[in-house]
Amino acid sequence: MLQFPSDFFWGAATAAHQVEGNNKHSDFWLMENMEGSMYKEPSGDAVDHYRLFREDIGLLAKFGLNTYRFSIEWARIEPEEDQFDESAIGHYRDVLATCKKLNITPIVTLHHFSSPHWLIRDGGWESEGTPARFARYCAHVMRELGTCIPYVCTINEANIAIGIAKMIKQFESGGTSAAQVGMNTDMQEQMKRYYSELSKVFGIPPLEVQTFLQPRTDNGLKIIFQAHTEARAAIREASPHSQVGITLSLYDVQSVPGGEALAAHSLQEEFVQFLPYLQDDDFFGLQNYTREIYGPEGVLALSAETEKTEMGYEFYPEGLEHVIRYVYKHWSKPIIITENGVATNEDTRRIAYIDRALEGVHACIADGIPVKGYMHWSLLDNFEWQLGYSKRFGLIEVDRTTQGRNPKPSAYHLGSIAQMNAISKI
């Protein structure tokens, strides 16, 4: 059995909009329900985690896991600008109390893709005013709940706009599957109508609709990371004991002869350029799902023989170890794996993915790299944005007709690894 540190975080993750349901003040709710939506289906009740969180966290504890990463929904806390909903604060206070009761360590994310629709109407993630607005929201949450939050991530996958822009470019050139881009195959035909409808629902010109999951200008990227730094300062003032970090999504970037320069550029673009914004963080949230291999002309297409996930990614859990080692070359503080997982209907492949990923994590720890925990994505089969409910990442299957929970063998498998490590240290 692989031996991990006694204080290692074993957990699973969710995102509010993907699991809670009926997040009606969110920009995504508007986009899912508008005419001509590019979403396969609306989120609706999602998996009703807003009501069933006690059951879900109880299952996480039953499996033997000790940590739950979840997000607080800005659109619920501040449905209109500078108007805070105390009942929403009370809800998340109850979530944190449930974690405490079950001896589950919470890792809280304050922005996981979705934003209040009023923010988008006022310039969204290209607006110079967004960092201050985000910091104000974060300060309010942490003043109310910070005593119960030991670890807080400001923004989930703050670098994702770069990956989205790259995937759209690859898609348009025929190099990436529609599933991997996360959009329907008739994307190009829908775009003109889509942006026209966006303009209607947000009440602003089409080009001014700037949600988080869009390609960004250089200034837009600066605004996102400025939002992180301003939020970090606000969090530390409101809740000095809370450890603050951010999460980035990182491919395991590899190359074949002739692709070295492009691979180096990719790493610079998606990670290294942002390091100055992160130097004062307490930890780094690392998220990895697969690899990219660069050749002289760009990312190599996957062969027909390559095992692929439901998302069209290469099944490659070894990428996690490689990314940890790369990050550690530039970052000497603690690392938490805030997301790692696989979309598959074959749970035996999820178990294999977990085992191979954890072998890599263990090797990194053995070499002295301060990896503090592993959060599997995700706790529940959930709403996968434009792809609706068709992709299954969860440790728990959900019957959305009844909202019944059915834990998969992989849930007990990951939990058994955590439990065996806990028992071995008693």
One DSSP character per residue, 268-333 reads HHHTGGGHHHHTT-SEEEEE---EEEEETTEEPPPPTTS-B-TTS-B--TTHHHHHHHHHHHH--S
Q: What's the pLDDT at 188?
A: 64
How far apart (Å, rounded) are the C-alpha atoms in residues 227 and 211? Answer: 14
Instruction: Provide the whole-model pTM.
Output: 0.95
Specify burial of residue 281 (Cβ count, 10 A radius: 0-12, 13-18, 19+): buried
Q: What's the pLDDT at 62?
A: 98
In one-letter notation, the amino acid at residue 140 is: H
Q: What is the pLDDT of residues 396-416, one digit of tens each?
A: 999 999 999 999 999 999 999
What H or E segment, with its residue span, contains residue 238?
Answer: helix 218-238
Q: Is 264 helix (H, G, I), strand (E, B) or coil?
A: helix
How far apart (Å, rounded) are the C-alpha atoms in residues 72 and 26? Answer: 12
- Determine the average pLDDT of the residues in 384-406: 97
DSSP 159: T
For 149, residues 6+ apart whose C-beta sits below 8 A from its C-beta are 96, 106, 108, 142, 239, 242
Q: What is the pLDDT of residues 286-297, one digit of tens each?
A: 999 999 999 999
DSSP 147: G
Q: What's the pLDDT at 181?
A: 45
9-424, what's its fold?
TIM Barrel (3.20.20)
pLDDT greater than 50 at residue 178: no
CA torsion through residues 407, 409, 411, 417, sign: positive
pLDDT greater than 80 at residue 22: yes
In one-letter notation, the amino acid at residue 401 is: T
How far apart (Å, rounded) are the C-alpha atoms in residues 111 and 96? Answer: 17
Specify burial of residue 132 (Cβ count, 10 A radius: 0-12, 13-18, 19+): middle
Cβ proximity of 336 and 376 under 8 Å: no
